[in-house]
A and B are shown apart, each in its own frame.
Chain A
């Protein structure tokens, strides 16, 4: 897909695209998130790491609107999205992939991307009266499939794709939806090295095109190779934030990962 690359030094000075301000959450018992605060700027790749149960996916679910925070605020492009339904938050510029990869299994790979594209410019009457193939959109879909290397599987049902191909398809759906902020839940988990390299290349392209990317990974070394900045959660609290080099030496982080 064609992308306009932007100067990174400049954009890092701009207002963050995603601001997470002191969000807390409990499910009746102890807090699973406790006043977590951080941000992601345009063109930045931020890794969200922490041991199991640290609250990483809960952060994603709150940002997406699938869970409601007990307190705190979420801003997307400077505007609060707290309390909005997930589809509304998505239309304001948020894309997401899931830890357990989710695609529309009984649609073809091609149609998965068409759906992802349609929902960003939704008009019910136009959608009902227009065929699901138009030349311009079809070309975009084909380019997106090519960019992740599964163009040969375009007409296969998504449920018949391999796990890695589904991960690629899920990422391509984010590309088609053209969101400004992307939340990627373990994009590299369980995929083979060749697919991981495609995913890493596309994430680099997206960041250079000015997207703000927040991703979850368990492997601190893998995160360090990709992220500009890392946020570390442990027991629902942010225990560290900084460059990959600084995080790897942080005593609190080392303790959280070693214990």
Chain B
């Protein structure tokens, strides 16, 4: 039972991550491979806040979201002025910088060996230690994030960011401050990803830079693409499928050393099959290949 609940917690955390990335990639057309960097920054910020200040879960979460937002804002000012491939390269550079920072700033992050002894959160005096209680915390959080992003997507603002995705020059000619709106979306997505990082650190209680590599960013992109770009319910389903799929390997006779590689192969095959058979993803608004 606990194992099943553990998978549910992971699905809810990946739902938060994928939904925020979907706002960026699917709705606004900003292909980022740095989402795991914000996820990692949030995880470390939340864990360090818990370790050093001990004000409790909501404060740790706020610190994580705040740091994600501030870093995103600093990065956005120069990098969002470039488009397409150059933007992807910019986010790749950010991902590598953050990973190397987490990996080498040993005094603060613990370096490559990671950070342990992270306390489980306490909400309104209730100590969230068991997977069941954590499902009760992360599940509503995921639902709230998906609901809020769907509301934004269905609002006038959603229309405008989709317009930016389709044609930035035209949107600008009509009076949209494209750089400003892209910055808002980038900061919002980063803050949400950092919040998911804090939830993850509180739950797993041990984090290491290897959890937040560029492969993790690409995994998140795979969830968005397979679930369907621009559709937040698609992100929920994508997260459920891609988190649960490798867990099926446990029921086969695959060694743990081979399981990691088989998992990568499974993701790759699934991505290729979806791109060929259903380029919109499971519930996507449009063909992601264009």
Contacts and interface: CB of A to CB of B under 8 A. Distances in A.
Interface of A: 64, 66, 85-88, 90-91, 95-96, 98, 102-107, 111-112, 114-116, 118-120, 122, 124, 126-132, 173, 177
Contacts of A104: 162-163, 166-167, 170-171
A87 B177 contact: yes
A128 B166 contact: no
Nearest to B162: A107
Contacts of B158: 132
B179 to A, nearest CB: 8
B174 A173 contact: yes
Contacts, number: 100
A98 B169 CA distance: 10
B263 interface: no
B172 to A, nearest CB: 5
Interface of B: 151-152, 154-160, 162-163, 165-167, 169-178, 180-181, 184, 285-286
29 contacts: A66-B173, A85-B172, A87-B174, A91-B175, A102-B170, A104-B162, A104-B163, A104-B166, A104-B167, A106-B166, A111-B159, A114-B156, A115-B159, A115-B171, A119-B171, A119-B174, A119-B175, A120-B174, A122-B176, A124-B157, A124-B184, A127-B155, A127-B156, A127-B160, A128-B155, A129-B155, A130-B156, A132-B159, A177-B174
A173 B170 CA distance: 11
B173 A96 contact: yes
B145 to A, nearest CB: 15
- Chain B contact surface mostly: helix
Contacts of A90: 172-175
Given A88-B177, A107-B159, A111-B162, 12 more contacts: A64-B173, A87-B172, A102-B169, A103-B167, A115-B176, A119-B176, A122-B175, A122-B176, A124-B181, A128-B156, A131-B155, A177-B175
Contacts of B165: 106
Which of A85, A122, A173 is packed against the most chain B CB atoms within 10 Å? A122
Contacts of B157: 124, 127-128
Given A104-B166, A106-B165, A115-B163, A132 B175 contact: no
A103 B159 contact: no
A177 B163 CA distance: 15
A116 B172 CA distance: 10
Contacts of A86: 172-173
A114 B181 CA distance: 17
A87 B159 contact: no
Contacts of B155: 127-132
Contact of B156 (A64, A106, A118, A173): A118
Contacts of B178: 87
A126 to B, nearest CB: 8
Nearest to B181: A124
Contacts of B173: 64, 66, 86-87, 90, 95-96
Contacts of A107: 159, 162-163, 166
B156 A102 contact: no
B122 to A, nearest CB: 32
B159 A106 contact: no
Contacts of B160: 115, 118-119, 127
A102 B167 contact: yes
A143 to B, nearest CB: 19
Nearest to A170: B170
A50 B174 CA distance: 27
Contacts of B180: 124
A127 B175 CA distance: 14
A28 to B, nearest CB: 22
Contacts of B154: 131-132
B193 to A, nearest CB: 19
B50 to A, nearest CB: 31
A111 B174 CA distance: 14
B184 to A, nearest CB: 6
Nearest to B156: A127
Nearest to A105: B166
